[in-house]
């Protein structure tokens, strides 16, 4: 999906990926992240966001919940992490990374509510009144005051399978009144949904979904109820290009994830400000019935992987089409459309979600000075190896 753009815009990363694998410094089933470019992308976005008065909370699930990258982003000036689930919250807490938003897309389990409230996240996303009650009880016990944001929905919204949740617009007024009277240790600070924007290939543009309309309607309802709505969070597809769209649609908060690595769907078709900076490295394991097979482990079912570079060096490779494993199968291997030499490097660049894989994450610095060095190898859950 991103191989052509990476070849054009970040060839040094391709070159280094070949060299690191051929020299035995990295194993197959490794994602290699060009940290210098990753942080350049992050800086560009942060500068633009400040000019447009949009708050940015970084998302790192796709990069394996990596604490090294998290620390670097905080040093750049990001407020903190938006953690996709309680397991990612644990990683950030262990490494003293500030948490800006927790609970979206996955709620905090009951037994962990008090621990996470005690860590003082800026806000907690909720989509059940039971969870609001638990947060209130924890905050009261700790002598704290906790801001929450509501995940909202309407009958026309798009919700991905496995993410079904949200307070319907019809219940917001009554809910807001109960929060005021029954849960004084929490305050509704804003609203969110997912996805608020999606890239449409036919339009060649990032388009707001009906969810964005719902978010705006919810914000107005809460304002009418006397709440000061300070957060209108509009995630999905967040990158420098998206910030204008978010502002135009009334949003003031975004959650860049793939935007940090130049790998949103829009980056595959357009030359945007962010430069792609992640490769997937494998190795030919064997040949079977005129096809080569390389080691898997890093496949994401929505990867849109198309092709791979196969060979021993940047100036000695062949491009082959990739045959990904079927969705009902374990991704022990990726198929290739031609035979190859066992041991050759295989490099791909596709849409990734490292936290749902069994891959390694290789952090590489110094590419801009053509002196690449590995600064850390982590597993897909953020643990240093």
Lowest mean pLDDT among 138-142, 299-303, 356-360: 299-303
Q: Contact at 8 Å (CB) between 246 and 239? A: no
Report the alpha-carbon angle 227-230-235, nearest 5: 125
Say which residues have a Cβ less than 8 Å from residue 12's Cβ, sequence separation at least 6. 34, 367, 368, 370, 372
Domains for the chain: give ranges and CATH numbers.
3-34+272-369 (2.40.37.30), 36-260 (3.20.20.10)
Residue 3: predicted pLDDT: 94
Percent of the chain, pLDDT > 70? Answer: 100
pLDDT-derived band at 273 (thresholds 50, 70, 90) equals very high
Tell me which of 374 and 1 has the higher pLDDT: 374
CA–CA distance, 129 with 181 (Å, rounded to integer): 13
Q: Whole-prediction pTM value? A: 0.95
Which residue is it, tokens 């947060």? 135
Residue 351: predicted pLDDT: 92
Indicate whether 76 pLDDT > 90: yes
Which residue is it, tokens 């989509």? 127
Mean pLDDT of 318-326: 94
CA–CA distance, 43 with 39 (Å, rounded to integer): 6
């Amino acid at each position: 999906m991103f191989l052509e753009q990476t070849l054009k815009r970040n060839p040094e990363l391709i070159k280094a990926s070949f060299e690191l694998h051929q020299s035995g410094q990295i194993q197959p089933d490794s994602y290699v992240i060009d940290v210098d470019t990753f942080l350049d992308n992050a800086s560009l976005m942060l500068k633009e966001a400040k000019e447009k008065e949009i708050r940015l909370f970084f998302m790192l699930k796709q990069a394996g919940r990596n604490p090294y990258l998290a620390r670097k982003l905080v040093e750049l000036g990001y407020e903190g992490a938006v953690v996709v689930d309680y397991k990612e919250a644990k990683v950030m807490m262990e490494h003293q990374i500030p948490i800006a938003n927790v609970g979206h897309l996955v709620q905090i389990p009951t037994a962990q509510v008090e621990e996470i409230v005690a860590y003082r996240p800026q806000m907690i996303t909720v989509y059940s009144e039971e969870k609001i009650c638990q947060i209130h009880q924890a905050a009261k016990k700790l002598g704290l005051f906790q801001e929450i944001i509501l995940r909202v929905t309407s009958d026309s919204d798009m919700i991905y399978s496995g993410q079904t949740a949200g307070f319907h617009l019809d219940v917001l007024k009554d809910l807001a009144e109960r929060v005021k009277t029954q849960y004084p240790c929490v305050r509704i600070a804003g609203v969110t949904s997912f996805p608020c924007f999606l890239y449409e290939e036919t339009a060649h543009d990032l388009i707001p979904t009906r969810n964005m309309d719902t978010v705006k309607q919810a914000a107005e309802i809460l304002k009418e109820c006397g709440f000061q709505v300070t957060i209108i969070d509009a995630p999905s597809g967040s990158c420098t290009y998206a910030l204008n769209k978010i502002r135009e649609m009334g949003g003031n908060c975004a959650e860049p994830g793939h935007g940090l690595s130049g790998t949103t769907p829009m980056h595959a078709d357009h030359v945007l400000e962010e430069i792609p900076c992640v490769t997937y490295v494998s190795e030919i394991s064997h040949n079977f019935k005129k096809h080569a097979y390389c080691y898997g482990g890093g496949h994401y079912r929505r990867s849109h992987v198309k092709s791979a570079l196969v060979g021993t060096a940047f100036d000695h490779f062949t491009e082959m089409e990739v045959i990904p494993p079927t969705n009902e199968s374990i991704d022990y291997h990726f198929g290739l459309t031609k035979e190859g030499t066992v041991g050759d490097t295989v490099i791909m660049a596709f849409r990734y979600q490292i936290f749902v894989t069994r891959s390694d994450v290789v952090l590489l610095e110094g590419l801009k000075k053509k002196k690449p060095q590995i600064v850390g190898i982590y597993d897909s859950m953020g643990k240093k190896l």
